């Protein structure tokens, strides 16, 4: 065999299943059994790509926080390996952890320190030289600058949440974990946070967020992972996911209300609204024969007339709910 070709063979058919040049976090075979004996994570394999926004979705208790806590060094894993930019989180914890910023799910701050002291403390803790100008910029970006001399205890919940973000950003992380960043945050602030996350991404920061607001994942994420009962059940580019698993709906506004779906149309998955004015047809848009044309023909044949029609893609939320429903 030609040497170059054999090299190619090596690369293409490498036995290392999770090797990827572009991945910044590599989680392989990670399990977690808590002291209570509860198995919170079962064999997690996951790669996070450099510079992406990755949304980790899952119902309460799925293991999102546990997984994040393991990567960040707060919880010990029971088995498996995790590397951050090539640094093993156990052997090379200093290098791994200095790259990571974490905004935890719970609001936990030393209540008696000022905002300024709190954020500078975080920076020092991560071994970064003092940089007042940078810390100022972080606080300004998060609209906390005029609160810099206030004690944390005097801040509102939303401001505390921003303070937690400021702490995480204070040491210029390359990877940012946001564990439910917008829980209990008003719409305006949520928009601000999304804008901030996009700015960070433009600077090359990789962002992993967990959320219950699926529209958030839908609006922000490049890729989506779904975790349930300690298992990753799906990882997919958001666009592909919506295309593959998405369903389409066609709404027909009827000229005259119907009492029931006509007999001749019963083989279509049709749903009639309570007032009988609207007919909804749900179909798989990947299918060769979505049946839209034949439905319209059959409607005509049945004498059902409609004033207007629109179609929409199902949201990530619906996909998500369907996925979990399929799980045993």
Partner 1 sequence: MNLRAVWAIYRVEMARAFRTVLQSIISPVISTSLYFVVFGSAIGSRITEIDGIAYGAFIVPGLMMLSLLTQSISNASFAIYFPKFVGSIYELLSAPVSYLEIIIAYVGGAATKSVMLGLIILATAALFVPLRIEHPFWMIAFLVLTAVTFSLFGFIIGIWAKTFEQLQLVPLLIVTPLTFLGGSFYSIHMLPGIWKTITLFNPVVYLISGFRWSFYGKADVSVGVSLGMTVMFLAICIAIVAWIFRTGYRLRN
Interface mask toward partner 1 for 149-188; x: CB under 8 A? ------------------x---------------------
Contact in structure between 149 and 115 (CB atoms under 8 Å): yes
For residues 230 and 44, what is the distance between their CA atoms, to the nearest angstrom?
Answer: 8
Q: Is residue 38 involved in binding ligand ATP (CB under 6 A)? A: yes
Indicate whether 63 belongs to the interface with ligand ATP (CB under 6 A).
Answer: yes
58 is an interface residue for ligand ATP by CB under 6 A? yes
- For ligand ATP, the closer of residues 48 and 138 by Cβ is 48
Q: Calculate the dihedral angle through the C-alpha atoms of 280, 308, 320, 322, rounding to the nearest 10 degrees.
A: 10
Shortest distance, position 283 Cβ to ligand ATP, whole Å = 32
Specify the stretch interacting with partner 1 by CB under 8 A; choose among 99-107, 211-219, 230-238, 250-258. Answer: 99-107
**Partner whose binding site includes residue 160, from Mg ion, partner 1, ligand ATP, none (CB under 5 to 8 Å by kind):** none
Closest CB to Mg ion: residue number? 65
Q: Is 69 in the site for Mg ion (CB under 5 A)?
A: no
Burial of residue 76 (number of CB atoms within 10 Å: 0-12, 13-18, 19+) = exposed
- How many C-beta atoms surround the C-beta of residue 51 within 10 A? 17
Q: Which of 147/223 has CB closer to ligand ATP? A: 223
Residue number with CB closer to ligand ATP (64 or 223): 64
Burial of 150 (0-12, 13-18, 19+ CB in 10 A): middle
Rule CB under 6 A: is residue 12 a binding residue for ligand ATP?
A: no
Angle at 128 between CA 122 and CA 134, to 5 degrees: 80
234 binds, among ligand ATP, Mg ion, partner 1, none (CB under 5 to 8 A by kind): none
Burial 175-187 (b: 16+ CB within 10 A, else e): bbbbbbbbeebee
Distance CA 218, CA 224 (A): 9
**Residue 326: CB minimum distance to ligand ATP, A:** 19
Q: Which of 23, 26, 65, 170 binds Mg ion (CB under 5 A)?
A: 65
Q: Which of residues 95-124 bind ligand ATP (CB under 6 A)?
A: 105
Q: Which is nearer to partner 1, 19 or 112 (CB)?
A: 112
Secondary structure tally for the chain: helices H, strands E: 11, 14
Complex with partner 1: residue 128 or 190, whichever CB lies closer: 128
Options 8, 11, 74, 309; binder of partner 1; rule CB under 8 A: 74
**Alpha-carbon torsion (36, 39, 45, 48), positive or negative:** negative
List residues bridging with 23 in a β-sheet: 49
Q: Residue 121 binds which entry of partner 1, ligand ATP, Mg ion, none, with Cβ cut-offs from 5 to 8 Å by kind?
A: partner 1
Residue 118, Cβ density class (10 Å: 0-12 exposed, 13-18 middle, ≥19 buried):
buried
- Choose among Mg ion, ligand ATP, partner 1, none what residue 100 binds, the Cβ cut-off being 5 to 8 Å by kind: partner 1
Q: Is 78 exposed, middle or buried (0-12, 13-18, 19+ CB in 10 A)?
A: middle
Residues near partner 1, by CB under 8 A: 34-35, 69, 72-76, 93-98, 100, 102, 104, 106, 108-113, 117, 120-129, 167
């Amino acid at each position: 065999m030609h040497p170059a070709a054999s090299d190619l063979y090596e690369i293409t058919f490498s036995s290392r299943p999770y090797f990827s040049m572009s991945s910044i976090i590599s989680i392989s075979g990670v399990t977690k059994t808590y002291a209570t004996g509860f198995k919170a994570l079962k064999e997690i394999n996951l790669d996070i790509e450099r510079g992406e926004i990755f949304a980790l979705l899952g119902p309460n208790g799925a293991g999102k926080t546990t997984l994040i806590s393991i990567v960040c060094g707060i919880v010990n894993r029971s088995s498996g390996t995790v590397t951050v930019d090539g640094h093993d989180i156990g052997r090379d914890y200093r290098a791994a952890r200095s790259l990571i910023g974490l905004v935890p799910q719970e609001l936990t701050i030393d209540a008696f320190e000022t905002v300024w002291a709190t954020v500078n403390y975080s920076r020092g803790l991560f071994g970064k030289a003092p940089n007042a100008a940078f810390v100022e910029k972080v606080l300004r970006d998060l609209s906390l600058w005029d609160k810099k001399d206030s004690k944390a205890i005097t801040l509102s919940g939303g401001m505390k949440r921003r303070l937690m973000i400021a702490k995480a950003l204070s040491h210029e992380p390359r990877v940012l974990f946001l564990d439910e960043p917008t829980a209990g945050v008003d719409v305006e602030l949520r928009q601000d946070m999304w804008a901030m996350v996009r700015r960070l991404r433009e600077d090359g920061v990789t962002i992993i967020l967990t959320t219950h607001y699926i529209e958030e994942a839908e609006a922000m994420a490049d890729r989506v992972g779904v975790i349930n009962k300690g298992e990753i059940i799906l990882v997919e580019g958001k666009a592909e996911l919506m295309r593959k698993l998405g369903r389409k709906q066609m709404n027909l506004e009827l000229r005259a209300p119907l009492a029931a779906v006509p007999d001749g149309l019963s083989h279509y998955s049709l749903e009639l609204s309570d007032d009988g004015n609207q007919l909804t047809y749900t179909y798989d848009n990947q299918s060769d024969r979505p049946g839209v044309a034949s439905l319209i023909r059959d409607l005509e044949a049945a004498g059902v007339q409609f004033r207007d029609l629109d179609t929409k893609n199902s949201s990530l939320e619906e996909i998500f709910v369907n996925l979990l429903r399929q799980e045993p």
